[in-house]
Amino acid sequence: MFKKSIILVFAFSLFSPFVSIADEGMWLPLLLNKRESDMQKKGMKITAKDIYDVNNSSLKDAVMLFGGGCTGEFVSNEGLLLTNHHCGYGNIVRHSTVERDYLTNGFWAMNKSEELPCEGLSITLLVYMEDVTNKVLKGVEDSLSQLERENVIKDNIKKIITEATNSNHYKAEIKPFFYGNQYFLYVNEVFTDVRLVGAPPSNIGKFGGDTDNWMWPRHTGDFSIFRVYANKDNKPAGYSKDNIPFTPKKFLKINLNGVEEGDFTFVFGYPGTTQQFLTSHAVDRIENFEDPARIKVRTSRLNVYNQAMNQSPAQRLRYAAGVAGIANGWKKWIGEVKGLNRLGAVERKIEFEKQFNVWANITQDRKDVYGGLIKDFEKLYSKAASIEMSYLYLTEAVLCSDLMKNGRSIISLIDKSERDNLSKGEMQKEADKAIEKLKSYFANDYLNHKEIDKSIFVETMNIYYEDFAKTNFQWIKEKVDNNFKGNAKTYFDYVYENSFLSSKKESEKHLRKFNPKNILSDPAIELLSAIWGSVIEKDIPNLVVIDSKIDSLYRLYVRGIMEMNSGKDFYPDANLTLRVAYGNVKPYKPRDGVNYFTHTTIKGIMEKENPEIYDYVVENKLKELYKNKDYGRYANSKGEVPVAFIASNHTTGGNSGSPVMDANGNLVGINFDRNWEGTMSDIIYDPDQCRNISLDIRYCLFIIDKFAGAKNLIDEMTIVE
């Protein structure tokens, strides 16, 4: 009884106000004045206007979307920017060769002429944002069908964007908030001449690797440095050696005193996706079906790859980047399931939905709009369930071996030739291109790779079969039963060995004389096109219709929740737009008998050192600096170099590289991760357990200055002590 009442109180505090408890929330910079007093109460000494101001330079001018999914910040008036090592990773790899392995050894430009252009990398700066809800919803009546509604909105959006960009070089986009209850216009300046300036060696930038990933205490020096270039008018321009360093309207000053337990901090960046309004049905699907399925498939893939990577350095290099991505999602979902479970997320949602239904049925007006919502959600989610899984398995399992990926490109070749009515000659030309691609695939140590890829294929397809296809996909079930005595693994083994796609000679033979009929009878292509046809032609169109219905339910549901809690300040779910999260440097207790402190120091790197384990090798130079306590100005008052710290800022994927600022808006850290216990915060936030993990700016500068000797970069920055 006592327990129950505790749970009830909790449920109310989380759901009745729904949000803005403790440190939850990712706030729109334009509307930050509403949060100002709360932020100041928590310790902020600057104003909302210092953070976002359209007419004067403000901190927002120092923050950028880095590439398509990370954040970065300017730290000099010459366009120098900081982001994470894992955000710069692709560009560091692209500049690395066996002879000049910048990924392993690090890279430091000692002057601007040594900086390396990064083709394809862009930097997006927000010029201004505007609430355009009324303009977007002009002419939208409740009587319109969903499709009519979408069309009116599309037309309106087109007009607004043209208006915002027709007389300037800006790029604009409009994004829906609260499931289309609100719309904001974002006008951006996009720079494409971006150059790599510095990156620590892997065993600093990725220290602890996937073992430490998503975990506290952490010792990863997860940063890299770039510079934005512009034309002589300080405007965006494609790469040119005549371009000059961009002068931002604002850059961040660096506070070398750092922050301590209890201090105010805020994170300014581009969080990607959160789903705080999901109903109990959706959370149940994620916690009990979707995440577990993803985890199971990825566990089997990781087992195969990890074994391979331990066999040779060449194998490690070949699979490392892919494995980092697989492992990142895998580990996050494990944490998410645990967190949802621990919080009783589904039960809490059900409890809230009961309250919502009571509220929704008080007046006839409400009843007409909101009365049936929860029931409708339930119906649609149960209708979507197996289709959702079919799509999930296609992406997570079926398409994860190279056999199937290569098969997929051959099938699209056939699709293309049908769609575009290609002549035989034209089709052969396309097939010749495919041969070229496959050539490098087979050239690259294929025999070793084949064993690994075959294991991936057989293992993942077997999970797909046992957990889904056997009961949902008659075609495969019959195949396995009739030709392979019900043994799916034997079937998949047969498919791999007998497909032309697993033999260089056979591939060339089949593609040199491209004949769709022959190709479609290949066992791998036959299997894939059966799955592909069913998912793409049947499932996805169905799913699109259901999802659009679900979305329109959420539009009403969220409107209802806001009406029900009028007077509350709601934050919209993350959607890769600029947000401010704020909180305090704060310890936590992950489990019984364990307390976590707020900071780690360089000492912990030495404690974790293990020359036998790839991810825990420590550079000699770093050990030497540690031994001699040669810390320069980067030590704290106790004479240690802080490496990372945790705080209660509400962040998610996309916030990587975000500036973490102190009460005065000075840079004290770079956000790079969340703690494992808090990864369910994309769905439900727990003030007790949710922490963001930041690189302490003192460790970052210590590495640049003392380890790399790149004093040229330090001299560009403005340091306050």
Count of residues of this chain found to bind ligand ARG when the rule CB under 6 A is applied: 12
List 86, 219, 281, 510, catalytic entry: 86
Q: Which residues of 191-225 are buried (b: 16+ CB within 10 A; e: fewer)?
A: bbbbbbbbbbbbbbbbbbbbebbbbbbbbbbbbbb
Residue 681 near ligand ARG by CB under 6 A: no
Question: DSSP string covering 277-314, please?
Answer: T--HHHHHHIIIIIHHHHHHHHHHHHHHHHHHHTT-HH
- Choose the contact partner of 655 out of ligand ARG, ligand GLU, none; CB within 5 to 8 A by kind: ligand GLU
Least Å distance between CB 615 and ligand ARG? 8
- Residue matched to tokens 């710069």: 88
Number of residues that bind ligand GLU (CB under 6 A): 9
Which residue's CB is nearer to ligand GLU, number 26 or number 717? 26
Query: Which residue from 268, 672, 702, 707 is in contact with ligand GLU, where contact means CB under 6 A?
Result: 672
Residue 110 to residue 709: CA distance in whole angstroms: 9
Distance CA 264, CA 259 (A): 8
Residue 355: closest CA among 92, 614, 16: 16
* Environment class of 236 (CB within 10 Å of its CB; exposed 0-12, middle 13-18, buried 19+): buried
Report if residue 583 touches ligand GLU, rule: CB under 6 A. Answer: no
Give Cα separations from 497 to 403, 484, 503 (angstroms): 10, 15, 9
Residue 210 binding result from ligand ARG, ligand GLU, none, given CB thresholds of 5 to 8 Å by partner type: ligand ARG
**Per rule CB under 6 A, is residue 573 in the interface with ligand GLU?**
no
User: Phi/psi zone of residue 567: left (φ > 0), alpha (ψ -120 to 50 degrees), beta?
Assistant: left
- Tell me whether residue 583 or residue 653 sits nearer to ligand GLU (CB atom): 653
Please report which helix (H) or strand (E) contains residue 175, including its range. Answer: strand 171-177
**What is the C-alpha separation between 259 and 268, in angstroms, rounded?**
16
Give the residue with the Cβ less far from ligand GLU, 221 or 653. 653
Residue that the structure tokens 């089997």 belong to:
300
Residue 652 in the binding site for ligand GLU (CB under 6 A) = yes
**Should residue 79 be labelled a site residue for ligand ARG when binding is judged by CB under 6 A?**
no
The residue from 23, 193, 222, 263 that is catalytic is 222
Give min distance, CB of 227 to ligand GLU, in A: 21
Tell me which of ligand GLU, ligand ARG, none is bound by residue 213, counting a contact when its beta carbon lies within the kind-specific cut-off of 5 to 8 angstroms.
ligand ARG
Burial class (CB in 10 A: 0-12, 13-18, 19+), 555: middle
Residue among 116 and 324 whose Cβ is closer to ligand ARG: 324
Identify the residue whose tokens are 């499709």.
147
Smallest distance, ligand ARG to C-beta of residue 212, A: 7
- For residue 231 the two structure tokens come to 């034309």
Stretch that binds ligand GLU, among 6-14, 35-43, 159-167, 648-656 (CB under 6 A): 648-656
Q: Which residue is nearest to ligand GLU (CB)?
A: 656
In the bound complex, what is the minimum distance in angstroms from residue 654's beta carbon to ligand GLU?
5
Over the window 303 to 342, marking each residue x when it contacts ligand ARG by CB under 6 A and - when it does not, the resulting string is ---------------------x--xx--------------
Map residues 382-421 to x or -, x wherever contact with ligand ARG holds by CB under 6 A: ----------------------------------------
For the bound state, the minimum distance from the C-beta of residue 653 to ligand ARG, rounded and expressed in Å, comes to 5
Among 406, 507, 600, 656, binds ligand GLU (CB under 6 A): 656
Q: Does 657 bind ligand ARG (CB under 6 A)?
A: no
Choices 125-133, 208-216, 470-478, 701-709 (CB under 6 A): range interacting with ligand ARG: 208-216
Applying CB under 6 A, among 35, 42, 86, 706 the residue interacting with ligand ARG is 86
Active site residue 291: no
Strand partners, 228: 194
Is the CB of 308 or the CB of 411 nearer to ligand ARG? 308
220 touches ligand GLU by CB under 6 A: no
Instruction: List strand residue ranges (DSSP E) for 572-634, in order.
Output: 579-584, 588-591, 594-596, 599-601
332: its two tokens = 């996050």
Cis peptide before 217 (omega within 30 of 0): yes
DSSP secondary structure letters along 108-139 = E-SSGGG-EE-TT--EEEEEEEEE-HHHHTTT
Catalytic option among 401, 656, 658, 694: 656
The CA-based angle 163-165-168, given to 5 degrees, is: 130
**214 contacts ligand ARG (rule: CB under 6 A):** yes
Residue 76 annotated among the catalytic residues of the structure: no
Shortest Å distance, C-beta 673 to ligand ARG = 5
**Continuous segment of H or E residues that includes residue 184:** strand 182-191
653 versus 687: smaller Cβ distance to ligand ARG: 653
Does 699 help bind ligand GLU (rule: CB under 6 A)?
no
CB of 656 to ligand GLU, least distance (A): 3
222 is an active site residue: yes
Nearer Cβ to ligand GLU (32/574): 574
- β-pair partners for 269: 579
**619: three-class secondary structure by DSSP:** coil
Q: How far is the CB of 570 from ligand ARG (least distance, A)?
A: 26
Q: Which residues pair with 73 in a beta bridge?
A: 63, 82
Q: From the list ligand GLU, ligand ARG, none, pick the one residue 209 interacts with, judged by a Cβ distance below 5 to 8 Å according to partner type.
A: ligand ARG
CA distance 87 to 224: 8
**Per CB under 6 A, 210 contacts ligand ARG:** yes
Q: Which of 535, 434, 451 is nearest to 496 (CA)?
A: 451
Interface with ligand ARG (CB under 6 A): 86, 206, 209-210, 213-214, 324, 327-328, 653, 656, 673
Interface with ligand GLU (CB under 6 A): 651-656, 672-674
Catalytic machinery residues? 86, 222, 656
